[in-house]
Structure 1
Amino acid sequence: MGTVKRIVRKGSLLGEMGFIKGGGNVNWFPGHMAAATRAIRDRLKLSDFVIEVRDARIPLSSANNELQSMLVGKKRVIALNKKELANPNIMHKWIRYFDSREQDCLSINAHSKSSVKKLLDLVEFKLKERISREPTLLVMVVGVPNVGKSALINSIQQIASNRFPLQEKRKRATVGPLPGVTQDIAGFKIAHGPSIYVLDTPGVLVPSIPDIETGLKLAVAGSVKDSIVGEERIVQYILALLSIRGTPVHWKNLDERETEGLNLNPVDKPDYDLKNLVPTRRRKPPSKSDVYYIEDVVTEVQRALFVTLTEFNGDLEDEDDLENLIELQFDALQKALKVPHKTSEARTIISKKFLTLFRAGKLGTFILDDVP
């Protein structure tokens, strides 16, 4: 993986995030996130249980390292969200990894009510010991930006409204009594006898990303704004990873429309909008021809990457060879995505379209972190 890191370090590298060529820390911590961290720290003291939401595609990289020290001694479950976008053949290894560390972990799809109910059932089970002696219990939801925390909260709210139809949309849970502390916190009641409330928190990015690759993985998942890192550099990183690891085997079967990763009618709405891949001249709702268009785009992109990799004769461990391959892949993607050659911003357009497909899971399911 060292070759991948060297590729992404070339050129003017992510100056706004404070990346330095030798590795080093990444400092990108807006003031409102610092304030949110302080608020979370205060509320954690009042919470009986924590749901830490992470992105299933980056189970370690999406951990909020700033919060880990605060979570010591707290009962919690790690909810690996967006499991529909993560490789299931690797996901079970991650579950085993967390089990081996005696850490409760559950892979979920925040848009699926049945999936979220399983999470809430686990939370209630874990709080069983305290039910007999505490009249009110508080569960806190934390996570870095774009791990799907808001989607999870929305699903919890809908489940809560079904369980307790008379409660207000955002019930106020009174916390206390604590010495010198009287505080109301917005939350949703999910159980009665005792009353269990789920509290929302802002998405907070760690103030210091430990290394370049972690920062890029967060950028791939959308936890760092594309404009800060640059879409082209994010795609360079993805292409380098796919090339080093080898493109998915199922890409060989490009004539089979049922192939994994080509399902264009998922039960759950994707987090990323595909409308920019449909011809912009349409003003009416997407039709069947639009769906076929997107399907053709997916197939062409997969074919372009698979062919360039299989026909490549260079050494993928060589920095210059890998960089040449990525250039060939960009050229192939330009044709597959039908981006005009004379467009001055062609690389940016290619990168944005590719990221849309990748993040929506149309190119397949992936886990970027390696199991320790």
Structure 2
Amino acid sequence: MGGVRSMVKKGLGEMGFNKGGGAINWFPGHMAAATRAIRHRLKVSDLVIEVRDARLPLSSANEDLQPSLSGKRRVIALNKKDLANPNIMHKWTHYFDSCKQDCISINAHSRSSVKKLLELVELKLREVISREPTLLVMVVGVPNVGKSALINSIHQIATSRFPVQEKMKRATVGPLPGVTQDIAGFKIAHQPSIYVLDTPGVLVPSIPDIETGLKLALAGSVKDSVVGEERIAQYLLAVLNTRSTPLHWRHLNNRRIEELRNEYEDKHDYNLKDLLPNKRKLPNRSDVKYIEDLVTEVQCALHVTLSEFNGNLEEENDLESLIEQQFEKLQKAMKIPHKASEARTMVSKKLLTLFRTGKLGPFILDDVPHSPNPVS
């Protein structure tokens, strides 16, 4: 990954993700107030569910909160497991187990998955249930890891168990980070009374490691406009290339690709943004076929360019040259007009959407540490 780190450093210069502003200001004012509120409520919480992105088991941890969280009963919920590589996911749960930290991979949209999380939470609370009439469970995490989706699923389960309890306003779910800005609580059990506190997603004021910042941006925890779609897409391509991921797509059928070119001469009007979780529009059969064919075209473009590449991926100049070629190939694959002034931005946005919705396959961007370390 040496080429990636060199390219990141060269491309971003001394730019940092910092509270004070500088080249990138990614710490909105409401997050400072939210962080203070979270710290205050942590003191009275009996257990914390720390939601992280399963694709970023370490990078999606809020480092500023770790000292406070380490002293609490905690369950780390690695959400979006459907987007994470299952061949590596079990290594991460084993890693957290070796660190003596409770961890479970979940899909917040799956009722059975969330039930397993709640069973683990109840197990962890058994030792204090006998002496405490009211217990508080706090849900924390950085933006866009799926906290609101988890809260909604927990609420649905709680409502089925206790239908007479007061109705809770559903948490707002969206693809943009920082949607939930208030701390709200609702009851999920009686005897003892167990309350779940939802919290807004908060980022740390500064991150010294730029690559960690880019991983968070790639996963959608930072608004694209803050870092720039093209910069994030370049990082994604660098990661795919250095991992040789496109070479695993050699199953592609060249004859099918040729058919696609003839079949889709006219620009399709389906918007890839409709794949994002806040959209209610479901793609019809034609849309599904378009998406599948677009994914095949994109995979083919990346496969061909990497397989024909004769340079050294560890050299930043060679890697940059390859990525430039891939942008050109992707522009053709996505049928974006050659003279479009915003062509690279359009390519970047479509590529990022395909990655974030799992259409390019499941990924885990963090590397499993070789030996047990602190879980943050």
TM-score by length of 1: 0.85
SS in 1 for 2:245: coil
Equivalent residue, structure 1, for 2:38: 40
Q: CA RMSD in A?
A: 2.3
Distance 1:368 1:197, change over 3 A: same
Range that drifts further, 285-294 or 106-115: 285-294
DSSP 3-state at the match of 1:141: strand
Render the CA deviation track for 1:248-303: whole Å, top value 9, x for unaligned.
Answer: 565122249xxxxxxxxxxxxxxxx83569xxxxxx97431121111100101011
- How many residues were matched structurally? 333
Q: 1:66 is paired with a residue of what secondary structure?
A: helix
* 1:113 counterpart residue number: 111
1:275-286 to structure 2, matched below 5 A, reads 275=273, 286=283
The alpha carbon displacement at 1:206 in A equals: 1.0
Which residue of structure 1 lines up, in the alignment, with residue 299 of structure 2?
Answer: 302
Aligned to 1:371: 368
Aligned to 1:267: none
Match of residue 204, structure 2, among 203, 206, 213? 206
Runs of 4+ in 1 over 4 A off after TM superposition: 11-16
Q: What residue is the counterpart of 1:187 in the other structure?
A: 185
What CA distance in whole angstroms lies between the structure 2 residues aligned with 1:109 and 1:246?
28
Displacement of 1:26 in angstroms is: 7.8
5 Å-filtered alignment, 1:1-372, equals 1-11=1-11, 13=13, 15=15, 17-18=17-18, 28-170=26-168, 186-247=184-245, 250-255=248-253, 274-275=272-273, 286-372=283-369
Question: Offset at 1:17?
Answer: 3.4
Per-residue Cα deviation, 1:189-228 (whole angstroms, up to 9, x for no partner): 2222211111101110111213110000000011111001
- What is the TM-score with the length of structure 2 in the denominator? 0.84
Q: Quote the Cα distance in structure 2 between the aligned partners of 1:13 and 1:227.
A: 18
Q: How many Å separate the matches in 1 of 2:48 and 2:219?
A: 22
Secondary structure at the residue paired with 1:46? coil
Query: What are structure 1's unaligned runs of at least 5 residues?
Result: 20-24, 172-184, 257-272, 278-283
Structure 1 residue identity aligned to 2:352: L
In structure 2, the CA distance between the partners of 1:107 and 1:290, relative to structure 1 (3 Å rule), is: same
Inter-CA distance 249–156: structure 2 relative to 1 (3 Å threshold)? farther
How far apart are the structure 2 equivalents of 1:321 and 1:250?
21
CA distance in 2, matches of 1:104, 1:12: 36
Are the counterparts in 1 of residues 24 and 227 from structure 2 also a CA contact under 8 Å? Answer: no
Partner Cα separation in structure 2 for residue 161 and residue 10 of structure 1:
52
Measure, in 1, the Cα distance between the counterparts of 2:314 and 2:58: 25
TM-superposed deviation, 1:364: 0.3
Deviation at 1:115, TM superposition (A): 0.4
The separation in 2 between residues aligned to 1:44 and 1:326, in whole angstroms, is: 45
Give the drift of 1:16: 7.6
For 1:158-197, what per-residue CA distance to the aligned partner results, in whole angstroms no more than 9, with x for missing partners? 11111111111239xxxxxxxxxxxxx8422222221111
What is the CA–CA distance in structure 2 between the aligned matches of 1:170 and 1:291, rounded to whole Å?
A: 35
Query: Any gaps of 5 or more consecutive residues in structure 2?
Result: 170-182, 255-270, 276-280, 370-376
Cα distance in 1 for partners of 2:92, 2:52 equals 12
Distance in 1 between the 2:209 and 2:86 partners?
A: 27
The separation in 1 between residues aligned to 2:105 and 2:220, in whole angstroms, is: 19
Q: Residues of 2 paired with 1:35 and 1:225: CA distance?
A: 19
Percent of pairs with identical residues: 76
